[in-house]
Amino acid sequence: MTLGPYVPPYPVRHPRVLSLWEMIRLARRNYLAVWPEVAFGRDVIFRRLLFLDVVICNSPGTVAQAFVEQHEAFQRKSPPHRRALEPLLGDGLFVSDGALWRERRRVVAPVTHAARLPDLAPAITEAAAECAAAWARQPAGRPLDVLAETGRLTAEIICRAIFGRALGRDAAATVVAAFAEYQRLVDQTDLLALLRVPGWVPRPVGRRTRAAAGRIHAVVDRLIADILEGGAGEASLIRAMAEAEMPGTGAPMDRRAFRNEAIVLFMAGHETTANVLAWALFILSQDKPSAARLRAELDAVLAGRPATLDDLPGLPFCRAVVEETMRLYPPVPFLSRQAIASGRIANRPVRKGAVVLVSPWLLHRRPQLWDQPDAFVPDRFMPGAPRPSRHAYIPFSVGPRVCTGVQLGLAEAVICLATLMQAVELDLAPGAQVMPVARLTLRPGDALPMLVAPRAPAAAAYPSPVASPI
């Protein structure tokens, strides 16, 4: 009997539409848990939640209408989303809109532009090789929290590639733990928004939430101070951003604005890629045929050495694994906006103040768009396979607010996955339960305990690094 493709875990889908109070109760634990089965197949959903209109776009056509054709009307992040991010990111790119967003994006976007890849990639390879060597030395039988480890790896990468210096294991661990706590504590349900209470009315932010944000700020502030006090001769992308002229004024960003955008780069540059890597490693630990196929490709192309940017054209299956992982587990599963002007979606009016939601979690599992939508099928993304519609696959968002680091994030994920999979074998720790949980980003729970063993002979190609292991 031929077995079908592997189907990784997802929350139960309800046979009916939940009441508002049922949704709020579940959403406070996991935003993925509120969706009924019928929602995955709908083009668009219009719903009134108390005094708030909500429009959910779930087809390529309605996604394009909301995020591309009517970007100006629907560009502002929704009030709950803004309030969830502001304690951490201030008025950074993830939160701002209008003229401020346009001016900042012109300065920030060049930092992670695809043209920078040849300069940034060596830091990715170096950090990934150090991580692979450290994992290969992991004591047999001792579970490793792969979610925390991939967070440390990608935090180190963003520091070396963008900030121009090593972060170090202790500082990386601080950031990873603090952001995990921040996600657990932050509340995006915002009952006051459902009552149409104006946004200028203060919402309480818990002491522990502010403390978690403060720990992240302390790490990034030290990096910024070190860079800005390093002298004019120091070359780093983040210093170039600090000195770039703002459109219209001809002056650099002020210190507060620069700090906020540096935190955006730091968090965006490590959290989403870390989650993608953790999910891919988990899936491959369960899908042995796909893991064997990937390792055959790696052995043929890399022969035991770490992956580099030049290797990517020869690793199509590795890239397909990453892309299919992002289809099933998009790093940011919900993209919510607020209508700052009236508009129309699917020939129906959308009033000013409405929340307009695009959910890659729903869109990427829509049966009308994907065969076996819940199954892990990397061949969907292999060369020669039909490409999904431009607005059917949006792991990095879409439209003017699309992620500025798309190519960097994809290259980083492929290089790291290839390097780690060559060096070690991974199996889920006995008794571990994995279920996707969405707060700000989509994670495999709070931890991902896995057993790690060196893979001979590939592990021999990763000498112990001179620097401290990640």
Model pLDDT for residues 417-464, shown as the tens digit of each residue: 999 999 999 999 999 999 999 988 999 999 999 999 999 764 444 554
For the chain, what percent of residues have pLDDT higher than 90?
Answer: 59
Q: Residue written as tokens 């009030």?
A: 79
Q: Is the pLDDT of residue 33 over 80?
A: yes
Token readout for 257 is 């604005």
Q: Is the pLDDT of residue 355 over 70?
A: yes
Q: Is the pLDDT of residue 189 over 90?
A: no
Q: How far apart are CA 291 and CA 294, in angstroms?
A: 5
Nearest partner of 263 among 243, 240, 235, 238, judged by Cα = 238
pLDDT (tens digit per residue) in 82-123: 888 888 999 999 899 999 999 889 888 888 888 889 989 999
Nearest partner of 403 among 229, 261, 268, judged by Cα = 268
If one looks up domain 20-461 in CATH, what number appears? 1.10.630.10
Helix (H) or strand (E) holding 460: none
Q: How far apart are CA 125 and CA 312, in angstroms?
A: 12
The arithmetic mean of pLDDT across residues 314-319, rounded, is 98
> For 404, how many CA atoms within 13 A lie in the half-sphere containing its CB?
21
Q: How far apart are CA 84 and CA 75, in angstroms?
A: 17
Q: pTM of this prediction?
A: 0.91
